[in-house]
Amino acid sequence: MLNRRVLLGGAGVLLSQALLKGAGSKVVFEHDLPDLTLKDWSVTAVEVSYGPGESSTAHRHPGITIVYVLEGEIRSKVGDGPEKTYTPGQMFLERPGELHAVSGNASATQPAKMLALLLAGTGARLTTPA
C-alpha cells in the first residue's frame, strides 16, 4: 500500500534529479500537504510551454499539483492567494480541486516553460475547465 510519504518521496527523487545542478543540493520548496489517502493514485509529469503572451484558461486538478518553473516567467493565481510571477527555480503547489484562475507567460516577447507533477487517482482526468 502506497502512502503519501512513499509517493511524494518518489516524486521528490524524480524532481530532484531533474533540478539538481552541481554537487550540492538545497531545499527550493517546502509546503504542507493536505491529509489525503493516496491509495490507487499515480503521478504524471507534464512539461508545459507557453509562447510569448500565451496563457491557459482557468482550470482545476483533482489531486495535488507541484509546479517547477524551468524557463521564463510564469504568472499564476491559485485559490485565494494573490497572483504571483514565478521565475526559473521557483515552485508553487495546487491543492486538490483548487481553482487555478491564472496560468500563463508573463512575457510578451520570451517563451516560458514549467514542469508540473500531477498526483491524482489513477485514470482520473487530470485537468478540468473551471
Please indicate, yes or no, if residue 10 is contained in any of the structural domains. yes
Cβ–Cβ < 8 Å for 106, 50? no
Please indicate, yes or no, if residue 130 is contained in any of the structural domains. no
How many folded domains does the chain comprise? 1
Please indicate, yes or no, if residue 34 is contained in any of the structural domains. yes
Supply the mean pLDDT for the chain: 87
Question: What mean pLDDT is predicted for residues 89-114?
Answer: 97
21-72 per-position pLDDT tens digit: 556 788 888 988 888 888 999 999 999 999 999 999 999 999 999 999 999 9
7, pLDDT greater than 50: no
Give the residue numbers spanning the domain of 72.
4-125
12, pLDDT greater than 60: no
